[in-house]
Amino acid sequence: MINQVLNQTLSKYCFESVDQPPFPLQFVGFISIDCGIAIGSAYTDNKTGIKYVSEADFIDTGEIHNILPVYNSFSISTQLTTLTSFPQNTRNCYTLKPTQGKGNRYLIRARFMYGNYDFKGQLPEFDVYVGPDYLDTVKVNSSSRPVNMEIVHVLSSDYIHVCLVNTGRGTPFISVIELRPLAKDMYEETDFGSLYLFERVNFGTTFRTARYKEDKYDRLWSPINLRNTTSLYTFETIYGGLTTIYPPSDVMSTAIIPTYPTESLDINWNPHNKTDRFFIYMHFAEIEILKRNQMREFNIYMNGFRSYPRTFSPLNHTTITINNQEPETIAPTYTLTLNKSKNSTLPPIINALELYVLKRLPQIQTDDRDATIIWSIKSTYRITRHWQGDPCAPQEFVWEGLGCSYNDTNSLRITFLNLSTSGLNGGIDPILANLTMMHTLDLSNNNLTGTVPNFLSGLTFLKILFDEESTGDNKGNKITVPVITAVASFFVILTAVMTIWIIAKQRARDTKKRGTRLEIRKQHYTYSEIENMTNNFSVVIGNGGFGIVYHGYIGDTEVAVKMLSESSLQGDKEFQAEAYLLLSVHHRNLTSLVGYCNEGNHKGIIYEYMAMGNLERHVFGLEYLHHGCKPPIVHRDIKCTNILLNGNFRAKLADFGLSKAFPTEDGTHISTAVAGTPGYLDPEYYTSNRLTEKSDVYSFGIVLLVIITGQPAITKHDEDIINISRWVNLKLAYGDMKNIVDPRLMGDFDINSAWKAVELAMACVAHTPSRRPTMNEVVMELSDCLVMERARQEKKPRQLTAVGSLNLDSTYDPSPR
């Protein structure tokens, strides 16, 4: 029978025969962080024998707390009684450097136990990233039950960054981070992407969660009690003869069968997201001693379709793992059915089950060499900036003072380093020579001493060294080196650096003011340079209350140049507001500041060129201003022409001259003069001068209606001016969505998605601001609309049969989300 199984050629499911690897040295490669314990402390857990350490070597921010005593029961592990919260900064990251490094497969687990540590009783939500990639949202739904996140991941870098991102729905926190190395032949389906744990269950027991030492990889196996099933168990050892997953013997020694032997064994579950694609690992072992006339044989079905090509018989006290080699077809619900075969005298059996959702984490991380160097620089110079996570990725969280090249398809390289005014002392660290792709290095306004190190001549791409842009008072010792171009040869660079080296004791104060100074460290351009880059303002690409926007080039890079006209209704105040906002707020869906001009009456802002003009498809830039910035920022002029599209049709929010920041986080409104565009302007703001975040939400609702209908924001009929929200409301009375949606779509859309989008837009334009959703809620609702539309275009799911009523939810272990 074994030979027959081993010789099968399976079209979809497989198992392999391997010898179980020798037991690894205890804790080799384990990283175990108990967040919230005293800095520098460590202890050995009395249940598992695993050593846990504080987070001191992994992160330099956060506040430590204990859960309230009422939630500290005997069933709660020691690691869940403490936590670290992050009320400061949008993103906070733990950085781990496993001993085995890139190319190896790891289990990464984060655990979150709220326990009302802050006495607020407000259950938070926040995002978790692995490196630059979004993993999932932590949704705490109970003060007394932890939330687990676990992923099987092959490292593309020597570093692992576990990041918590504040989305405006509560303060992020974390209790435990655990990293466990896995064998090279385990979970090889990670070739498709990372495997995000949905559930890992141990059938046939309700005793406790099995983990290390029962499982040498310290996986958590949750006990579960399914209705209409009977538990089996054995005290004998179960051998791992036909599996590369190695479920522990303690887990395999229990199992379930149907309570009524003639019935099938049905296990069903619902995905958390409509686009989830599952990998399924079924673990079987015969743990009963069968008599000569007994046989256990059954068929395996998934959603009514045969998953295993022939009848299956588990082996006596030996584990067989059956798993799909490709992710399951997307379906709204899943039912795994084990049916007794005609020849079988015994009902089907199953011992354990693992369900994983395929997660593709596609973003490229910073080159390991550059990452190691910049971490060393942070340590050597004791830099106090908020440098956490991957230095270059994602782009909206690039480290302050760093610039990176995003052209390499393998890794990101650091090309710009600004450490000016960072309190640096001593000589220049030779490790800087290893940032080989760097073209700009600014070490001005520090207390550096000594001579120019020879290693700088090896930076063949260096164009600017110690940039000397004046931004006001500069006192104290300073090293000054002029611009050095990379086109010079190695010897010219070396000679120039050594010849021009000057140690300046004090820099004279620049008392001559030209217009209003902007105290920012972005590139300043003169008016004559603006004339050159725009070819004397020859190509106009936009117009607005600020002035005229011109097309230009800086080298080979296209830019947009917005010049303040003397007749502009907006003035110097708005000019500075936009420049400051673009400097301090960074997000992939907000236009990026390239430079500025501030010379007498000539004031302009240079920002990235958006090749596809304006229109709106993605909304995350606005959500970031409201919920990702501290304090929140209200744009005040959301409209289609202020949402620009680059060459890849990525939408970015633009024109921040009217933006306002709330003075306090708990402020509900500010009183300010009305500003905005007719048709998009919040009527409540217009009549009361009370500006809130919901004012932007109203404007965005109008944008949504314009996109959905293809109609302008305001339409004139005879002498009557009709707002688009009124027009849609009249159409909704007839209940015919086809008369609302843009006719150019020719009916090719998901009707449920359209209804949801229209209802969301109408909620945004509700007359009463309190009835409008937040931008967080808008983003989530629109994401659901997108999922519906994509699902419509996906291959139609297979018909479902044999769907039972059993649920995979366990009452003994928390849901992974």
**Closest C-alpha among 702, 669, 701 to residue 688:** 669
Which SS3 state, helix, strand or coil, does residue 517 take?
coil
Which SS3 state, helix, strand or coil, does residue 312 take?
strand
**How far apart are the C-alpha atoms of 473 and 461, rounded to whole Å?**
31
- 10 Å CB burial of residue 242 (0-12, 13-18, 19+) is buried
Q: Is-contact 164 171, C-beta < 8 A?
A: no
> Tokens in use for 576?
């500075």
**How far apart are the C-alpha atoms of 798 and 795, rounded to whole Å?**
9
Which SS3 state, helix, strand or coil, does residue 336 take?
strand
The conformation of residue 316, written as its DSSP 8-state character, comes to B
**How far apart are the C-alpha atoms of 667 and 631, rounded to whole Å?**
10
180 forms beta bridges with 107
- 51 is known to lie in a ligand binding site: no
- Whether cis (ω within 30° of 0) applies to the bond prior to 213 is yes
Quote the longest CA-to-CA distance of the chain. Answer: 103
Q: Print burial letters for 723-761: b (CB count within 10 Å at least 16), e (below 16).
A: bbbebbeebbeeeebeebbeeeeeeebbeebbbbbbebb
> Within 10 Å of residue 582's Cβ, how many Cβ atoms?
22
Please provide residue 229's backbone torsions phi and psi, each rounded to the nearest 5 degrees: -130, 160
Which SS3 state, helix, strand or coil, does residue 251 take?
helix
Which SS3 state, helix, strand or coil, does residue 814 take?
coil
> Tokens in use for 183?
């064998």
**Closest C-alpha among 80, 51, 228 to residue 145:** 80
**How far apart are the C-alpha atoms of 483 and 256, rounded to whole Å?**
74
Q: Is-contact 804 333, C-beta < 8 A?
A: no
Q: Which of 637, 682, 696, 750 is catalytic?
A: 637
**How far apart are the C-alpha atoms of 621 and 646, rounded to whole Å?**
14
**Would residue 572 show up in a list of annotated catalytic residues for this protein?**
no
CA angle 321, 325, 331 (to 5 degrees): 105
**Closest C-alpha among 762, 752, 759 to residue 789:** 752
Handedness of CA 529, 658, 470, 566 (dihedral sign): positive
Please provide residue 456's backbone torsions phi and psi, each rounded to the nearest 5 degrees: -60, -25
H-helix or E-strand containing 233? strand 229-233
List binding-site positions for ATP: 562
**Active site (catalytic) residues:** 637
List binding-site positions: 562
